[in-house]
Chain A
Amino acid sequence: KAGVTQTPRYLIKTRGQQVTLSCSPISGHRSVSWYQQTPGQGLQFLFEYFSETQRNKGNFPGRFSGRQFSNSRSEMNVSTLELGDSALYLCASSFRSTEQYFGPGTRLTVT
């Protein structure tokens, strides 16, 4: 099976702009989770979707949002970007919310 794919892999944005990141899970996986990874904070949970429903949300401001489509593909959106949003954004899919399979991530740089 193909692994989790994320697009784009790299992104440079300016403060105040918004960005949309995409994640395609492993075929058959219905759960998709998003994480933000920074050197200082480590891996922080953003949200988790299962069958188009958000089941959990981490402690991030409302500027961070996401959605999942009927084919399990997921997108996350960050509006009004801040410098502190620069990070590696990782998407992970799982079959039954057990072990997670991570994608390569999207490296977002906000200038």
Chain B
Amino acid sequence: GQQVMQIPQYQHVQEGEDFTTYCNSSTTLSNIQWYKQRPGGHPVFLIQLVKSGEVKKQKRLTFQFGEAKKNSSLHITATQTTDVGTYFCAASGAGSYQLTFGKGTKLSVIP
């Protein structure tokens, strides 16, 4: 089945530093979604990317979808303590309704 690899598994940053998590697949993805899960909470949808090379921004968050639609990244500029949580990418293959999640990147922000 569809597999997505997400790195790094953990990231500790000083508040104000930037953060990036990467998601890779060996197969072409029809779309990729990003979710955030706060400690003790449930995943919350952030964004969906569909087009090759697509770049979307949400305030300090920048999401990219690779040209080959096999990789994606989430970049946070100037992290804040409110950014703490685990960030997941999730992808579905062509014609599939099954969403496969990466293992997630757990972000800790040191104030």
Contact = CB atoms under 8 A, between A and B. Distances in A.
Contact of A45 (B33, B43, B44, B98): B98
A104 to B, nearest CB: 5
B43 A102 contact: yes
Interface in B33-89: 33, 41-45, 48, 88
By secondary structure, the A interface counts as strand
A50 B101 CA distance: 20
Interface of A: 31, 33, 35, 42-45, 48, 50, 55-56, 58-59, 90, 92, 97-105
29 contacts: A33-B99, A35-B101, A42-B88, A42-B101, A42-B102, A42-B103, A42-B104, A43-B88, A43-B90, A43-B101, A43-B104, A45-B98, A45-B99, A45-B101, A48-B97, A48-B98, A55-B97, A56-B98, A58-B98, A59-B1, A90-B43, A98-B48, A99-B33, A100-B43, A100-B90, A102-B42, A103-B42, A104-B41, A104-B42
Interface of B: 1, 33, 41-45, 48, 88, 90, 96-104
